[in-house]
Amino acid sequence: MKKIELEIVALSHSITQTHSYAVVLGEMNGMRRLPIVIGGFEAQAIAVALENMHPSRPLTHDLMKNFMNAFGVELQEIIINDLQEGIFYSKLVCYTDNDTIEIDSRTSDALALAVRFGCPVYTYEHILESAGILMEDGSGKKSGGEPVGIEESAGSGSHDDLSTMSVEALNNLLNEVLEQEDYIRAIAIRDELNKRK
């Protein structure tokens, strides 16, 4: 089967499930998008890596990368290889000097590792056909070199709250959320501060 390369184009709060997030993967050089619902911890792990943040303590996926590097295991690619009853299945394709190994993984964990290793993410046509969304005008496409942002769901109110705060209050809030290791909220605050520069 021919593999289709994907890239992360958005990370947002899930509209359909409370306390969940959605990572949106976009077809490289194509118009289709693949939204995948993931948990909050995994969304945070992906966001931290996408934004090149450095937590004071390593997150689980950072530990996994360090472990793999220490033992000479390289993550070559991620393949989202199956979809059953709305659940995506993925595998990590890893290699060492002597062997190539495929390891079963939750898609959210696979994506968090892919961002850290800078490896490509693939899927197959039948998965894009059954779960993909066609973007007719190209909206949602990540522009070259621009970091992927965290989108707030409609009605969340957090964007409005941040826009009414002073720069000093935003800086204080940023320090608080970083101490609490709430990196997703920190990205939203950082984006608001950058708008005002």
| CATH architecture for the domain at 3-151 | Roll (3.10)
pTM across the whole model: 0.73
Q: Is 52 left (phi over 0), alpha (psi -120 to 50) or beta?
A: left
CA atoms within 13 A on the CB side of 132: 20
What pLDDT is attached to residue 137? 55
What pLDDT is attached to residue 7? 96
What pLDDT is attached to residue 189? 82
- Inform me whether the pLDDT recorded for 193 exceeds 50: yes
pLDDT tier at 49, thresholds 50, 70, 90: very high
What is the average pLDDT across 18-40? 88
Instruction: Judge contact between 170 and 147, C-beta under 8 A.
Output: no
Give the separation between CA 189 and CA 133, rounded to whole angstroms. Answer: 30
- Inform me whether the pLDDT recorded for 152 exceeds 60: no
Instruction: Judge contact between 77 and 122, C-beta under 8 A.
Output: yes
What pLDDT is attached to residue 3? 96
Q: Which residue has the higher pLDDT, 26 or 54?
A: 26
What is the average pLDDT across 139-150? 41
Q: Is 119 left (phi over 0), alpha (psi -120 to 50) or beta?
A: beta
What pLDDT is attached to residue 156? 37
- List C-alpha distances in Å: 77 to 55, 122, 128, 130, 168: 25, 8, 18, 22, 43
Average pLDDT, the chain: 83
The three-state secondary structure class of 182 is coil
What pLDDT is attached to residue 157? 38
